[in-house]
Structure 1
Amino acid sequence: MFDAVSDWAVGLMDRIGGVGAGIAIAVENLFPPIPSEVILPLAGFAAARGSMTVAEGIIWTTIGSVVGALVLYYLGRVVGLERLYKIVDKMPLVDVADLQKGVEWFDRHGTKAVFFGRMVPLVRSAISVPAGVARMPLGIFVLFTALGSAIWNSIFILAGYYLGENWEVVEQYAGILQYVVLAAIVGLVGWFVYSKVKARARS
């Protein structure tokens, strides 16, 4: 499956450049067994070969992430969680537990889960469903999805770009990388909140 996905993605990007990378990531959002940890480094590799620029890869994959997330958002909003559980249970290669993890993340972290959830495996796609069920404001959902996706996509595309033909290395260390990224973002947010509270206390 790894080889089939990579061959399909490379062919798509070679034919239509950044748009192809965006389509591949939109499909990845809707069909989680296609891993972004494969698609995104391949986009960087394609950029290194001249099929697109790095900026085009980041922009189009972020657009693709938002489009895929919006489909799941509206599914959650229109179909409802219980019926979606039944639908997912009948789908091949898709686990109900993945959707449940997204729901649990949203229940624990609220709207910010949409931002941080874009950098957590399995949760990344599923987080859009409970956001739709909860009728999270569309503007905030799109903003948080775009920001979280842009950070995640940029890291993997740049890694694939600089590694070139050795882009598979990114996929091997993706599990470690995603937690490093998440810890760094949580640290930055914590520092921002701390500095604001400290400044307010002084005033």
Structure 2
Amino acid sequence: MQEKDLKEILNAAYELEGLLQLSLTGKQDLSRLHDLIVDKGHLISSLCDRLPAAATESGEGAAAGYYVVDEAADDSTAAEPVENGPAVKEQPGEPLPAEPEAVPDFSHIEGVSFADTPDEPEEQAPAQDAAPAHQPLRLRNNPGGRPKLRRLFPINEVFLFRRELFGGSDVDFNASLSIVEDLDTYDAAEDYFVSDLQWDMNDPTVGQFLAIIKKYFKQQ
């Protein structure tokens, strides 16, 4: 199984996720989105067909280094009585290192506009009293709804930043941008993300996000 094939399937799956998100907003031509979703599903199916099929140990599978487990034989073995003995506690294996998730890129799809399309319906922040600026993000309101700063973020990067930096919350993402709009300098914004939100400046995703924030202050 080639790593390249798996990455192609993963990228196609993320693009399919983005198309499904857009269809839920109801802001696009649903018939056009339907065709794109179907095409993307066919693409994923065809990519899966390219993966090597399992083979027996005596056939091609043995040469390739993979084998088929006989499920019937495995079940019969499991059903046989086992002599009583000391219980052995299974030790959990070490987790595999997480691979960076691919970000869907929809720039190559024609007929659908992604620039100003909301990725999902806005969440409603609970009503609460005004809080000082030093309080954590979740203790503040997001006055005025969607901030203007958000227009600088491409739709596929919104998916990435919201998931990796804001726990998947669109409310926290918008609230953070609203706070940045009230600041006077990029240094103040950077201090907010490092001191208040405890972001790691060595994280590549954080660096990618702050590059857009720096661009915003240069335009002011």
TM-score with structure 2 length normalisation? Answer: 0.22
TM-score with structure 1 length normalisation? Answer: 0.23
Structure number with greater Rg is 2
More RCO (CA 8 Å, sep 6+): 1
